[in-house]
Structure 1
Amino acid sequence: MEGEKIVSEERKERRFSRTWLIAGLVIVLLLVYQIPMPYYYSQPGDAVGLNEFITVEDGTGEEGEFYLTTIRQSQANLILYAWSFLSPYRVLTPEEAVRMEGETDDDYHNRQLHAMQQSQHAATIAAYEAAGAEVHENGVLVTQFVDGMGAEEELESGDVITAVEGETIGNIDELNESLAEKEAGDYAQLSVNREGSAMELDVEMVEFPEEMNHANEPTVGLGIEFPVNQREFEPDVTMETGDIGGPSAGLMFALEMYNQLVEEDLTYGLNIAGTGSIDEEGNVGRIGGVGQKVVAADNAGIDVFFAPQDTGLSDTSDYEMAVEAAADIDTSMAIVPVLELQDAVEYLEDEG
């Protein structure tokens, strides 16, 4: 009996020690997971179909589908840091290359959402112009303000400036031209639409803060930050992309809208993805993470992947990096270079 009791006690002690060992390991892993590092970790994300997010009124249907591609990104910890060395498509980027100095996580998130909104707006204009649909310029939408300048005192976010000194303005360029001769202390008479009500407001021109002064740009102004051209599109279009941020889906947004605007279905039953920013003229710009997006597209069974051929900031284009990634993962997906929206349209027309 004594022997059995001793064995029982030893078993209890071993179970107790094992429990504490497991608990200790869990605590250590949690601590390691929580310790941030001065890097952002990213890996291939998803290919997201655009047909359910973009709707052109009375738009045509499509047999295939256009997709945007994403990367998954988060603040690196020790586990993700180690994990990144196991694949060339798991990437560590220095924190200062991702966030601006003094920028919080919320600031960064909002900046990415703003970039997405600008991308959507430019993509809409490019698509409608290419398809021959109607675009009406109706003024400049006020969004945010520079602290201490005239606009902050008189205007409200959501106001639309439609005229300066009685002269109609349709866009930001025309607004800037109408203010070009004014000096600090002068007042600009603005015609404004505020929630459907027309009003006339006198707004003082003030010098921009020193940190906002750049070469070849005005040194005085109203103090509107991130203004947006207010346009109406016929037929109407709606976009609901949730929390996806950044400008890199511009090309694919434009292709989806263009395809709904024209009679011919450019997909011809294919699944088509890609990446690249876009401006109002339809020019396609380079982005980051193109290799990771090729992997994401391949994982989703994509047939065609468009990549920017722009070499403005580097000797190597996104297209060349996409081709390299495609060869590395041995995909059968076609990698197609584009410099502008029309390049993608013509490729799909020829394939059809």
Structure 2
Amino acid sequence: MALLTWQALSMDVAYVVMGPGPTEDVLSEATDEEGEDHQIITADVEYDTTGELRLTTVRVKSSVTLAQALRYWMSNEHAIIPRDLVYPPGQTEEEISEENEAEWVESQSNAEQAALAFLQQPAEIRVAADGAGLAEDDVVLEVDGTPVESLEALEDFADSETTVTVDRDGEKTEVEGVTLSGVDLEVTREDPYGIEIDTEALDIGGPSAGLVFAVGIVDRVTEQDLVQGMDVAGTGEIGPEGNVGGIGGIQQKIIAASELGVDVFLTPAGNCSDAVSVAPDDMTIVKVETLADAVSALDSAATGGDVQTC
């Protein structure tokens, strides 16, 4: 019996363990494996800032025995979740790693675009691939004679045939009979600040650092010191227009931040209930739906004003 019990406890189970991971201050430098320092966010014009603004991560233990699962189950710092939620059937670990890397790169691009949108830089809606009579790199100017400046403005035209006016290689061109729902479009904004995000020293993947990168960019290129001496952390996927989406592992990220004495944690609205369930009493959990929410909340928190909390 003892042998059977030992064998059962030593068997791997179809679960993974999610625990608190490292954090990185995006307003400072990170050191790579060769000992070289990399300033994470830079711009042609930078203003002085104080305090810390940390992205947060989780660690995933992919191979778990029954005995380990039982031990982690009793831990307040870890979550036991079905393996298929992290490693979908039919995908290799290499494919999942490549997907995480692609999301990581996209999070930085979206963060830059979201920051530029917040800073009211003009937008261009560009065709990302040939289709429906439109050519890659066409810039959409009008739909049925109506000027458009955002993807949201195109929603009313998405499923009907329209006449789209584009800038194609410097010439104004009308294309008739276009159904926009079948066109791959992207928003781009001119960057007058020379923004660069250097993640060479960061071993991180996935989309959830987007919000913190966007806040960090705004802090870098504006006179306003958003952090103002506070220790701030956060998480959240961000779209190019600044909308913030929920993420996984929020409780483990809150725990990692609390161990560092973080004052304020920027939390996607969809993650609020899980965040407050583990947050210490002295940590302000800010409810964030947009980048503008985050910027406004930090300004209020630093001056003792009201903050929208979870």
Q: Please indicate, yes or no, whether the TM-score normalized by the shorter chain is above 0.5.
A: yes
Q: 1:56 to 1:141 in 2, by over 3 A?
A: farther
- For structure 2, which runs of at least 5 residues remain unmatched after alignment? 1-5, 28-38, 143-147, 163-167, 170-179, 304-310
TM-superposed CA distance for 1:96, in Å, is 1.8
Structure 2 residue aligned with 1:341: 291
Matched, 1:301 2:288: no
Structure 1 residues 182-234: Cα deviation after superposition (integer angstroms, max 9, x where no partner): 9xxxxxxxx79xxxxxxxxxxxxxxxxxxxxxxx964xx8xx8xx86565422
Structure 1 residue aligned with 2:220: 260
TM-superposed CA distance for 1:87, in Å, is 0.6
More helix by share: 1
TM-superposed CA distance for 1:117, in Å, is 2.1
Q: Could you tell me which of 266, 270, 279 is aligned with 2:230?
A: 270
TM-score (norm 1): 0.62
**Which structure 2 residues correspond to residues 50-199 of structure 1 after superposition, within 5 A?**
50-51=26-27, 52-78=39-65, 80-132=68-120, 134=121, 137=124, 139-140=126-127, 161-163=136-138
TM-score (norm 2): 0.70
Structure 1 residues 103-134: Cα deviation after superposition (integer angstroms, max 9, x where no partner): 111111111122222222222122112123x3
Matched, 1:321 2:274: yes
| Other structure's SS at 1:272 match | strand
Q: Distance in 1 between matches of 2:229 and 2:247?
A: 27
Structure 2 residue aligned with 1:212: none
Taking every aligned residue pair, what percent have the same amino acid on both sides? 31
**Which structure 2 residues correspond to residues 179-258 of structure 1 after superposition, within 5 A?**
218=182, 232-241=190-199, 242-258=202-218
Q: How many residues align?
A: 262
CA contact (8 A) 1:41 1:80 kept: no
Structure 1 residues 238-260: Cα deviation after superposition (integer angstroms, max 9, x where no partner): 11234411221121111101111
Structure 2 residue aligned with 1:202: none
TM-superposed CA distance for 1:86, in Å, is 3.0
1:49 maps to a residue whose letter is D
Q: 1:64 to 1:172 in 2, by over 3 A?
A: same
- CA RMSD, Structure 1 to Structure 2 (Å): 3.9
* Higher Rg of the two aligned structures: 1
Structure 2 residue aligned with 1:204: none
2:242 maps to a residue whose letter is G
Q: Distance in 1 between matches of 2:206 and 2:80?
A: 18
Structure 1 residues 47-87: Cα deviation after superposition (integer angstroms, max 9, x where no partner): 21102312122121211121101110131321542331231
